[in-house]
Amino acid sequence: MRDLGVLGKFDLSDQVVIITGGAGLLGKSYAKTLATAGAHVVVADINGEGAERLAKTVTEASGVISLGIETDVSQPESVTAMVDTVLKRFGRIDVLVNNAALDPKFDPEHAVEHTNRFEEFPLSAWREALAVNVTGMFLCAQAVTPTMVEAGRGVIVNISSTYGVVGPDQRLYQREGQSPRYKPVTYTVSKAAALGLTRYLATYFTGTGIRVNALTPGGVYDGHDDEFVRRYSAKTVMGRMAEADEMASALLFLVSDASSYMTGANLVVDGGWTAW
């Protein structure tokens, strides 16, 4: 382990960090924060144009070269191509942040996931979500760990959710005079799987220098309607939703040497949601 002062342990200079789902709300915050700490950030996202735009923005703001790569984490060939591109460009992979996930919004486009009761939930929607949220994590970890083992060090952080720790309170999503709406079963199941994968990988790679932890965010504000914000906030000890940068600072801790004695752990950042 490098001999660093306490603040120096957060330094990511010259490290290469892959963030899947990097062009999304949290992914953008993660990328900007880790680049500020000195990392070369690879924004891997199915939205290739969004990934490239963010990488350009991050490079210009931080002065550290970042890279955007179109990646479908549910497809082995796409994941392998992404990892090969990173290794050709930077020659190393220090950190993988498994952040890509399908979390359907409450809008007409995703009505089938939210208006169907569990008893009628479509098998096609189940398979699609788990292919990204679970298989994607598996494939990305599988692809980067040989390089990490060879280097004798590496960090993987799997992004879970409070809904991987406790079940969703479906009352949050109901509106008087409207058809019932439900947080999909796939989200809770896949985020719980992320925690199981974290513990498995942490113990499997014992002695290799690879650390594997999970980050479990609570609800992050993203333009939610006032009624949802009020209901959600009332269920947290801190009485509010989170901001994206509050998750990014927690991630910085987990990917850096500041958390050097942590593996197989789950860092819950939920404003006290699960403390009641």
Please identify every residue annotated as catalytic: 187
Cβ atoms of residues 179 and 111 within 8 Å: no
Phi, psi of 137 (to 5 degrees): -60, -45
Tokens of 65: 């070269």
Q: Which of 125, 121, 13, 115 is nearest to 64 (CA)?
A: 13
71 phi and psi, to 5 degrees? Answer: -145, 130
Which tokens belong to 153? 């060090």
C-alpha angle 184-221-137 in degrees, rounded to nearest 5: 50
Report H helices in 11-135. Answer: 25-36, 48-62, 76-90, 111-115, 123-130
Query: If we measure between CA atoms, which residue out of 230, 128, 130, 115 comes closest to residue 181?
Result: 115
In angstroms, the CA 203 to CA 199 distance is 6
Distance CA 108, CA 115 (A): 10
Quick one: tokens of 184?
Answer: 């999909």
73-99 core/surface letters (b: 16 or more CB in 10 A; e: else): bbbeebbebbbeebeeebebbbbbbbb
Structure tokens at 172: 């949050």
